[in-house]
């Protein structure tokens, strides 16, 4: 049996008074997800282990069967893998957002919907002004970039900007972890042995990063790109925000973990997810015009997924749009993204694979909720459905956060989802 996971990032939500007390999954028109729930089996899943924040890097890799206590190193190293940066043992890789601030507060975590082209332009500019032998800015996609700091410490506390809309940014600057402010640690090589170099203390690392953040504001606001945006009355991309830092992780491939997977593919517009795919040993497909937003190329992603699934055993197709709409607090847009996932992803994939001679198991789920009235990730269980030809249905008739409580799978925890899915 072949397997495909269709993941709607941040798709789960809370009950909303504007929707008569329904969640967005309840209110959205999702005939194909509902049909698969009715024909298949459902349940709920905790995707965030104790002691971890509800980030997409944690949730997505947990869904794929990875124990975070063994593999977690933050977003930065995963995004480094995605964009082809080969980390050295001494590197600290951090996710770098270009955000929008005003009146001392975080207005937007995405720099006013910065384009990939303009993001690369700003990264080049920051490298010229702030880069050196220790610090390097590497362009990624849209507002999502990479910051490499040589011999820096990962034992720092960074606030993910999407978790703090409307808050004072200066109160969220980088701090050392408790007990690590003045401690040093050796750089460990890929052979597991010290290289002879030492890393900065966590306090030195925090000071360096905060200095970069503060300097970036003046530099970015003076850049012609932002000057033109200001003249048009648009939000500026006027501050860098590093977070999610870590060293190079050590992860087994999915092929090593699950013998059923001899080959597989990851499809996403998001560097983070592509990086997980790289470390998981999956082929990573970049689909033209896949944006990670509501205007993404759904049809191109589906075509790539079906081609991969026809030739391989496993596909992970990730759609970011619902998460972005949740962070923006845009209820109408998030409803639309959920309906797009149903009609433009789930429907064509189901209608195609149901005709194949070799059976295909389909799973649909989010990685975490991103409620529109909270505008950030929350650490709560998510609903999931699993269908394949011949599966014995449970009594759940529709797919949403409330209905799946009664699903036959009950409440699964962390890697149990992938373990069960791969036994089908």
pLDDT confidence band for 343 (50 / 70 / 90): very high
Q: With 0-12 CB in 10 A as exposed, 13-18 as middle and 19+ as buried, what is 121? A: middle
- Max distance between CA atoms of the chain, in angstroms, equals 62
CA distance 229 to 217: 15
pLDDT confidence band for 89 (50 / 70 / 90): very high
The answer for residues whose C-beta is within 8 angstroms of residue 287's C-beta and 6 or more apart is: 267, 269, 297, 300, 301, 304
pLDDT recorded at residue 203? 98
- Return the number of other C-beta atoms located less than 10 Å from residue 358's C-beta: 11
Helix or strand or coil: residue 411? strand
> Is pLDDT above 90 for 10?
yes
The answer for residues whose C-beta is within 8 angstroms of residue 135's C-beta and 6 or more apart is: 147, 148, 149, 150, 208, 212
The answer for residues whose C-beta is within 8 angstroms of residue 236's C-beta and 6 or more apart is: 100, 111, 112, 220, 221, 226, 229, 230
Percent helix, percent strand, percent coil in the chain, to nearest 5: 35, 25, 40
pLDDT confidence band for 366 (50 / 70 / 90): very high
Q: With 0-12 CB in 10 A as exposed, 13-18 as middle and 19+ as buried, what is 14? A: middle
The model's pLDDT over 375-395, given as tens digits with 9 standing for 90+, comes to 999 999 999 999 999 999 999
Placement of tokens 């059923």 in the chain: 260
pLDDT confidence band for 37 (50 / 70 / 90): very high
Mean pLDDT of the region 104-117: 90
> Whole-prediction pTM value?
0.81
Question: Is the model more confident about 144 or about 4?
Answer: 4
Is the Cβ–Cβ distance between 1 and 359 less than 8 Å? yes
Residue 59, H or E segment = helix 56-63
pLDDT confidence band for 84 (50 / 70 / 90): confident
> What dihedral do alpha carbons 178, 179, 184, 189 form, nearest 10°?
-70
> Is pLDDT above 90 for 91?
yes
CA distance 305 to 293: 18
User: Residue 56 has which token pair?
Assistant: 């997409």
The model's pLDDT over 260-277, given as tens digits with 9 standing for 90+, comes to 999 999 999 998 899 899
Helix H segments across 240-346?
Answer: 254-257, 271-279, 298-311, 321-327, 331-341
The answer for residues whose C-beta is within 8 angstroms of residue 261's C-beta and 6 or more apart is: 3, 254, 255, 313, 314, 422
Q: Is the backbone of residue 423 left (phi > 0), alpha (psi -120 to 50) or beta? A: alpha
The model's pLDDT over 292-335, given as tens digits with 9 standing for 90+, comes to 999 999 999 999 999 999 999 999 999 999 999 999 999 999 99
CA distance 406 to 337: 26
pLDDT recorded at residue 326? 97
> Is pLDDT above 80 for 113?
no
The model's pLDDT over 47-80, given as tens digits with 9 standing for 90+, comes to 999 999 899 999 999 999 999 999 999 889 988 9
Q: How far apart are the first and last CA of the chain?
A: 7
Delineate the domains of the chain, giving CATH numbers in brackets.
Answer: 2-72+251-422 (3.40.720.10), 77-247 (no CATH)
Question: Is the model more confident about 191 or about 120?
Answer: 120
């Amino acid at each position: 049996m072949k397997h495909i996971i269709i993941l709607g990032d941040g798709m789960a939500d809370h009950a909303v008074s504007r929707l008569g007390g329904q969640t967005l999954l309840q209110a959205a028109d999702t005939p194909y997800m509902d049909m698969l729930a009715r024909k298949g089996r459902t349940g709920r899943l905790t995707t965030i282990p104790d002691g971890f924040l509800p980030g997409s890097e944690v949730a997505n890799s947990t869904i794929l069967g990875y124990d975070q206590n063994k593999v977690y190193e933050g977003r930065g190293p995963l995004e480094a893998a995605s964009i082809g940066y080969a980390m050295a043992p001494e590197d600290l890789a951090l996710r770098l957002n270009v955000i929008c601030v005003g009146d001392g507060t975080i207005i937007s975590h995405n720099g006013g919907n910065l384009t990939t082209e303009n993001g690369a332009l700003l990264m080049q500019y920051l490298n010229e002004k702030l880069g050196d032998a220790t610090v390097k800015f590497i362009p990624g996609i849209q507002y999502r970039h990479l910051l490499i700091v040589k011999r820096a410490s990962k034992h720092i506390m960074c606030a993910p900007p999407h978790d703090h809309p409307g808050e004072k940014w200066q109160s969220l600057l980088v701090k050392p972890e408790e007990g690590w402010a003045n401690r040093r640690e050796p750089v460990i090589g890929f052979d597991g042995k010290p290289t002879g170099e030492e890393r900065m203390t966590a306090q030195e690392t925090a000071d360096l990063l905060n200095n970069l953040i503060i300097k970036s504001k003046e530099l970015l606001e003076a850049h012609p790109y932002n000057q033109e945006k200001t003249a048009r009355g648009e939000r500026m991309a006027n501050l860098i925000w590093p977070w999610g830092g870590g060293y190079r992780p050590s992860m087994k491939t999915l092929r090593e973990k699950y013998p059923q997977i001899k080959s597989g593919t990851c499809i996403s517009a998001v560097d983070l997810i592509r990086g997980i795919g790289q470390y998981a040993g999956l082929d990573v497909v970049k689909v033209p015009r896949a944006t990670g937003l509501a205007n993404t190329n759904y049809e191109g992603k589906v075509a790539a997924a079906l081609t991969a699934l026809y030739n391989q055993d496993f596909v992970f197709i990730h759609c970011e749009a619902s998460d972005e709409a949740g962070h923006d607090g845009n209820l109408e847009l998030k409803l639309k993204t959920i309906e797009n996932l149903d009609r433009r992803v789930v429907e064509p994939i189901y209608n195609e694979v149901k005709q194949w001679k070799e059976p295909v198991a389909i799973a649909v789920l989010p990685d975490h909720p991103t409620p529109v009235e909270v505008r950030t990730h929350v650490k709560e269980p998510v609903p999931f459905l699993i269908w394949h030809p011949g599966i014995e249905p449970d009594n759940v008739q529709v797919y949403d956060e409330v209905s799946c409580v009664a699903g036959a799978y009950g409440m699964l925890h962390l890697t149990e989802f992938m373990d069960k899915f791969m036994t089908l």
